[in-house]
Amino acid sequence: MSKKRGLSLEEKRTRMMEFFFEKKDCFQLKELEKQCQKEKGITSMSVKDVLTSLVDDALVDTDKIGTSVYFWAFPSKASQNRKRKLNDLGKNLEELKRKKSNLANAICKAKMGKEESADRTQVLADLSRAEDERDKLRLEVDKYKECDPEVLEAMKKEALIAKEAANRWTDNIFATKSWIKRKFAFEDSVIDKQFGIPEDFDYLE
């Protein structure tokens, strides 16, 4: 018989948030270690680490009263935090779209002649940075989707739009390479090396 798979960190985070929302009360660490293991299947040894991650993400509040430290999280505040976070993510997505639009225009301009090769190199570098920002943004979205998947459905659609836009720019880059090959008879390897295009550069899946 195969060994039962343990809970992932995100599963533990989700279950602990469910515990707080169900109880609507304040707890000390020892109480959480005991009750979360009993009711949510979170091992007592991992409760502190899970709790710390939720506090760091401002999903769980904490305060010291006398000599005791208490933790709590109520649905109303969690909803406000998610809305604020989603609003910030939305703004970041809009900024990313703007940057990508500018990069797409720059790629078109870079096709105009060999003298623009320096611009093309800069465009590719900027595109790489934009993709890194997009990936970081996706990680942020993934971190919150376990807590409220319905609220983030719209964000998933935005991420899909961003992916499709990135793939359209990949088309532009491949078109630029084809244009250089036709006009100057360069090999792919030479073009990739000249413009710093990685060997595994391809469409996003």
Tens digit of pLDDT per residue, the chain (205 long)? Answer: 455 678 899 999 999 999 999 999 999 999 999 999 999 999 999 999 999 999 998 899 999 999 999 999 988 775 566 666 666 777 777 787 788 777 777 666 655 554 556 666 777 777 888 788 888 877 776 666 556 655 556 666 776 776 777 777 777 787 787 777 787 777 777 777 777 787 777 766 7
According to the model, what pLDDT value does residue 44 have? 92
According to the model, what pLDDT value does residue 114 have? 47
CATH code reported for the domain at 9-73: 1.10.10.10
- Put simply, whether the predicted model's pTM sits higher than 0.85 gets the answer no
Residue keyed to tokens 């998933």 = 156
CB 42 within 8 A of CB 50: yes
According to the model, what pLDDT value does residue 17 have? 93
According to the model, what pLDDT value does residue 67 have? 92
According to the model, what pLDDT value does residue 159 have? 67
CB 33 within 8 A of CB 50: no
Element (H, E) at 131: helix 117-145
CB 92 within 8 A of CB 137: yes
Of 31, 10, 33, 53, nearest to 149 by C-alpha is: 10
According to the model, what pLDDT value does residue 34 have? 95
According to the model, what pLDDT value does residue 178 have? 79
Domain boundaries, the chain: 9-73, 150-195
72 strand-pairing partners: 61
According to the model, what pLDDT value does residue 108 have? 66
According to the model, what pLDDT value does residue 84 have? 67
